[in-house]
Amino acid sequence: MFELSFGKLVILAAVVALVWFASRGGSRSAPRQPEAPRQRGAAPRVEAEDMIPCPVCGTYVTSKRPAACDRADCPYR
């Protein structure tokens, strides 16, 4: 049976919180650097579309709106 006492739950929560903060970098003490104004004068960003190969036919298609090929078993139909 479960033997989760309240004390074990508190320890578990503390461990989870510790891992959570450690995974976020743990740089809370460091002051935040202000974001550099990169937008000004920069070239307009081109939204790059990820190209993924069709697992059946191998044709590279855009992941956002894949185009179906002529194969009947193409997953993008």
Closer to Zn ion at the Cβ: 52 or 74?
Answer: 74
Q: How far is the CB of 72 from Zn ion (least distance, A)?
A: 10
Judged by CB under 5 A, the chain residues 31 through 70 that form the site for Zn ion are: 54, 56-57, 69
CA-to-CA dists, residue 28 to 24, 25, 52, angstroms: 9, 8, 38
Nearer of residues 12 and 56 to Zn ion, judged by Cβ: 56
d(CA 59, CA 74): 10
Q: How many other β-carbons are positioned within 10 Å of the β-carbon of residue 34?
A: 6
Which is closer to Zn ion, CB of 3 or CB of 70? 70
CA separation for the pair 28, 19 (Å, rounded)? 14
Number of residues that bind Zn ion (CB under 5 A): 5
Residues that bind Zn ion (CB under 5 A): 54, 56-57, 69, 74
